[in-house]
Amino acid sequence: MTTDIFSRIEHSRTADEVVHQIEILVLEGILRVGDRLPGERELAKQFDVSRPILREALKVLEGRGLLNTQHGGGTFVADVIGQVFTRPVMELIARHQKATLDYLEYRREVEAVTVEFAARRATDADKALLTRIITAMKAAHQKDDFEEEASIDVEFHSAIGECAHNIILLHTLRSCYRLLTEGVFYNRAMVYNLPGAREQLLQQHVAIYEAVMAGDAQAGRRAAQAHIDFVSRAMTDAQRSGDWERVSILRLQQRAPNLSGNSKKAKLKQSETAN
């Protein structure tokens, strides 16, 4: 449950002021999709407003699609990211490799700018959060836990977006990462399973982290671009090796019966010669 991020309303204590404060928290990425708000009594206390005023504000926010209230289950931040593309377009993207290449090209440039901004703007609190995330990433790597490592990968990039302190970049990147986690562009397991890939990915994330921590914008830009360049090459190599394996299996299936038959014929011929 989210607490301690709501401030006392200082002036006229109207529903509009409550609405404005919650909207800013969502816009700045402090309140994220699925976050649960405190109960009505606690939230009214933190805002220092009456419960009728709070209910009015929550109703407005729900009408704007920012909150969802579940009967008896609490109030949650709605899916404010949503889908960048319609389902038919997403299915088209999934079927055509050019879309994946364009996605990576787009990420290469956008993330370079994002890391550059993050290196210049990250606060002490931002850096503390990044340190926690990179520590968790290293721990998941040691456990050889792909699912956890992949999840922290997205969390790391999202946190870099937050460190950039640019609202448009923040929400654009979150939309991009949602498509990635849903497997619209490519299967990340293919890349992770390439020999040495997990180690290189970890090193690249650490390089981005160290650039932000050092405030080195140009090193951050280079590290971000090198990371996406590696992902692009690894994805191509994974697909190529997958195609090779598929073709090899088909060849084996096609030829094995014939080879087995030839072997039987050879044995029969040897037997006839002996007789």
**Distance between CA atoms of residues 214 and 100, nearest Å:** 32
Please tell me which residue, 262 or 147, carries the higher pLDDT value: 147
Check if the beta carbon of residue 217 is closer than 8 Å to that of residue 224: no
Query: What beta strand segments (E) does 182-234 contain?
Result: none
Write down the pLDDT at residue 273. 52
Q: Under a CB-based contact definition with an 8 Å cutoff, are residues 6 and 45 in contact?
A: no
Q: At a CB cut-off of 8 Å and minimum separation 6, what does 221 contact?
A: 112, 113, 115, 116
Q: Which pLDDT belongs to residue 189?
A: 78
**pTM across the whole model:** 0.76
Poorest-pLDDT segment among 16-20, 151-155, 249-253: 249-253
Please state, as a whole number, how many other Cβ atoms lie within 10 Å of the Cβ of residue 192. Answer: 16
* Residue 154 confidence (pLDDT) above 80: yes
pLDDT score of 4:
75
Burial 161-179 (b: 16+ CB within 10 A, else e): bbbbbbeebbbbbbebbbb
Section 157-182 average pLDDT: 89
Flag whether pLDDT at 61 surpasses 70. yes
Q: How confident is the model at residue 49 (pLDDT cuts 50, 70, 90)?
A: very high
Is residue 28 pLDDT above 60, yes or no?
A: yes
